[in-house]
Amino acid sequence: VRQSPVYKRILLKLSGEVLSGETEHLDLEVARKIAYQIAEIYSLGVDIAIVIGGGNIWRGSMASHSEFLDRSTADYMGMLATIINGLALQGALEHLGIPTRVQTAIEVKNVAEPFIRRRAIRHLEKKRIVIFVAGTGNPFFSTDTAAALRASEIEAQVILKATKVEGVYDSDPKINPQAKRYEQLTYLDAIQNRLTIMDSTAFSLCMDNRIPIIVFDMFKPGNLKAVVCGAPVGTLVSD
Ligand code: UDP
Helix, strand, coil shares of the chain, percent, nearest 5, are 40, 20, 45
Q: Distance between CA atoms of 48 and 38, rounded to whole angstroms? A: 9
- Please indicate if the annotation marks 150 as binding a ligand: no
Of the candidates 160, 97, 98, the one whose C-alpha atom is nearest the C-alpha of residue 124 is 98
- 132: Cα separation from own chain's centroid: 10
The angle subtended at Cα 165 by Cα 162 and Cα 166, nearest 5°, is: 90
Give the per-residue pLDDT at 2: 61
User: How far, in Å, is the centroid of ligand 1 from the Cα of 177?
Assistant: 31
- Please indicate if the annotation marks 142 as binding a ligand: yes
Q: Distance between CA atoms of 65 and 24, rounded to whole angstroms? A: 22
Give the per-residue pLDDT at 1: 56
Q: What ipTM is given for this predicted complex?
A: 0.97
Residue 74 CA, closest ligand 1 atom number: 11
DSSP symbol at 229: T
Give the per-residue pLDDT at 23: 84
- Please indicate if the annotation marks 137 as binding a ligand: yes
Of the candidates 66, 233, 72, the one whose C-alpha atom is nearest the C-alpha of residue 161 is 233
Backbone angles phi, psi at 87, to 5 degrees: -70, -35
Give the per-residue pLDDT at 110: 97
Question: Angle of helix 143-154 relative to helix 117-125, nearest 10 degrees?
Answer: 70
165, 19 Cβ separation under 8 angstroms? no
Q: Distance between CA atoms of 120 and 101, rounded to whole angstroms? A: 8
Q: Distance between CA atoms of 217 and 229, rounded to whole angstroms? A: 15
Residue 145 CA, closest ligand 1 atom number: 8
Give the per-residue pLDDT at 33: 96
Give the per-residue pLDDT at 48: 98
Q: Distance between CA atoms of 170 and 193, rounded to whole angstroms? A: 8
Q: Distance between CA atoms of 42 and 93, rounded to whole angstroms? A: 10
User: How far, in Å, is the centroid of ligand 1 from the Cα of 135?
Assistant: 6
* Residue 212, H or E segment: none
Give the per-residue pLDDT at 198: 95
Could you tell me the mean pLDDT of each successive run of 10 residues in the chain, 239 residues long? 88 96 92 97 98 97 91 97 98 98 98 98 98 98 98 98 92 89 95 92 96 96 96 95
Give the per-residue pLDDT at 65: 86
pTM for this prediction: 0.96
Report all structural domains of the chain as residue ranges with CATH numbers, in order of start: 9-238 (3.40.1160.10)
User: How far, in Å, is the centroid of ligand 1 from the Cα of 91?
Assistant: 21
Q: Distance between CA atoms of 80 and 99, rounded to whole angstroms? A: 23
- Please indicate if the annotation marks 163 as binding a ligand: yes
Give the per-residue pLDDT at 172: 86
